[in-house]
Structure formats: C-alpha cells, structure tokens
Amino acid sequence: MKFGIDAGGTLIKIVKEENGERAFSKYLSTEVEKVAELLKEYPDAEVALTGGKATYLQSLIPQNAFQSIEFDATFKGIQTFLQQLNHPLENYIFTNVGTGTSIHHVKGEVQVRAGGTGAGGGMIQGLGFLLTGEADYETLTALAAQGDRDDIDLKVKHIYKGDKTPIPGELTAANFGRVLHTKDTVQYTAADKLAAAIGVVGETVTTVSIHAAREFGAEYVVYIGSSFLHNELLQKVVMNYTVLRGFKPFFIENGEYSGALGTLRLM
Ligand code: ADP
C-alpha cells in the first residue's frame, strides 16, 4: 500500500493506492495528528509527503517517508492527470488556488514558478468571515452561490453609461467600487457580500494567471486547488473571466490532489 500526502496550509490531501486502485481523502490541517494515527495502522506502507506541514507530519509517523518539493510534486501530479485525461499540453500555465495562489509556467518537462497572489481560498474564508461572521466553509460557499454582486462591483459599462467602451463593458472596473453609488437604495445581503468577495478573489487569480499566460505565450490556464470545491461561483468567475480575456481555462477533476499524487509518482 502507498500513500501520497500533501499537507497544506488548510487541508491535508491524501491519495491512497492499493492493487491499482486509487482513493482520495482529505482532512483539515488542524487534524494532522489524526492523519498520523491513520498512518500508524499501516506501518509497512510506503509514504510520500509534500507541502508545508510535511516535515511535522514526518515527525509523528513510523514510516521513513519520501519527501518532495511541493511545486515539483504538483507539476508531476498535473502531468499525470492530464495524461490520464488524454489532454496533454505542451506550453501552459497552471494556477493552484489553495490557501494562497501560486502560478507556474510549464514548457515540455520544465516547470517554473511565474508568480502568485495572496488572493485565494484563505482570503475567501477570512474576508468572508469578516463580512458575515460565517466560519463554516460549506455554509459560506452555499450562501455565496445565492448572492448577486451587481450592486457592489463597478463595471466598465457603469462608468461609460451606454457610451462605447474601449474595453469590454462587462469587465470589472473596481471590485466593491459601486457600493458608494448604490448604498442609499440597496440592502446588501450576506450572500451578496460573499459573492463580491469570491468575485475579487476569482478575478485577481485570473488576472495574474493570464498575465503569465501572455508573457509565456501560453494558450491554456489549468486551474487546480481545493478553493474550487463546493464553490461553483469561483469556478464560474474564473472560467468566464479567463475566456473573456481571450485564454482557455481547464479544470482538472480531483486536481486539488495533484501534490499528493505527484509526490507519490516522484517516489
Ligand atoms: P492548501 O494546500 O494551502 O491547504 P488547498 O488547495 O487545500 O490549499 O485549498 C485550501 C482552500 O480550500 C481553503 O482556503 C478553502 O477556501 C477551500 N476549502 C475547500 N474545502 C474546504 C473545507 N472542507 N474546509 C476548509 N476549507 C476548504
């Protein structure tokens, strides 16, 4: 039996392989001791770790685990998924929207980190809590799905008021920039505020990604990370914004397990 484990800032992602079968599971990073207890039940298992909490997890488990650098592991995992999906890409950007967001360029077998942004899943949770007092992840994202950010965000078309716009009118000119224009007539619900928070994260992540895509002449942006889980709104914002800006988004099912799968493949 083999375990590939990506112990990240918010979630621990586990890929278990046995007799050619692959199983995925995840725990909160605050439950690292629970993961260690699980591994103690399989002292003979081969274990591959990656992620910021890998060394701490190693200190809790009986196996002498293989460890890899998280960016290398994630790249290996993405390549494995793309191969299995029969969607090989030669020159692309991948954007990992985890607690924070990390952006990478891939050409052939070479991966380099192209940048990142502090806007990501952690910001959705933190800003979401500040705006609404809601700390439960799934409650937060379910609520956001019912929200409407039209009265909160200022679009290019709002500024041009029917005049011809030099860039697409649907582009956001200023996230949260419409609030002072609408505040006297609109009641913003918790759902609306959360939708706007997800909007700013999605658009920031996309903007930084497509700048990298343009710089490296890449057509595709591959998006992974647990921030897209139970969060169709974020998926929608990122997908639509990537297309609107002229690039091709690609979401990998179970892509949040790329680091865990990749460290296993590198072992
Ligand atoms: P990391 O490796 O930094 O932990 P992930 O790719 O696992 O990153 O993404 C973490 C983000 O996933 C969180 O910030 C949150 O937005 C989102 N998320 C998805 N499911 C959950 C969950 N059950 N609990 C908490 N956060 C979750």
Q: Does 75 score more than 90 pLDDT?
A: yes
pLDDT at 162: 85
**Number of structural domains the chain divides into:** 2
Tokens of 195: 């939708």
Residue 219, pLDDT above cutoff 90: yes
Which entry of 31, 70, 134, 215 is annotated as an active-site residue?
70
pLDDT of residue 99: 98
- For residue 23, the CA-to-ligand 1 centroid distance in Å is 19
Q: Cα(256)–Cα(11) distance, rounded to whole angstroms?
A: 10
Same domain, 227 and 261: no
Place 161 in a pLDDT band, splitting at 50, 70 and 90. confident
Q: Which of 25, 125, 134, 226 to mutate to test the pocket of ligand 1 (most atoms within 8 A of CB)?
A: 226
- The closest-lying atom of ligand 1 relative to the alpha carbon of residue 125 is 16
Same domain, 120 and 246: yes
- Gap from CA of 95 to ligand 1 centroid (Å): 15
User: How would residue 251 be classed by pLDDT, with cut points 50, 70 and 90?
Assistant: very high
Residues in the chain: 267
> Do 122 and 245 fall into the same domain?
yes
- Residue with the smallest CA separation from ligand 1 atom 19 is 226
Domain that holds residue 233: 116-252
pLDDT digits (tens, 9 = 90+) for 7-63: 999 999 999 999 999 999 999 999 999 999 999 999 999 999 999 999 999 999 999
Q: Residue 46's closest CA among 62, 59, 35?
A: 62
**Is the separation of the CB atoms in 210 and 247 below 8 Å?**
yes
| Cβ-contact 10, 98 below 8 angstroms | yes
Say which CATH number the domain at 47 has.
3.30.420.40
Q: What is the largest CA-CA distance in the chain?
A: 69
What pLDDT sits at residue 206? 98
Atom number, ligand 1, closest to the C-alpha of residue 6:
2
Asked if 213 and 242 sit in the same domain, the reply is: yes
10 lines ligand 1 (CB under 6 A): yes
pLDDT-based confidence at 172, cuts 50/70/90? very high
Per-residue HEC secondary structure of 15-65 comes to EEEECCEEEEEEEEHHHHHHHHHHHHCCCCCEEEEECCCHHHHHCCCCCCC
- Ligand 1 centre to CA of 257 (Å) is 11
Could you tell me if the CB of 124 is within 6 A of ligand 1?
yes
Q: Is 37 a catalytic residue?
A: no
Does the model's ipTM exceed the 0.95 cut?
A: yes
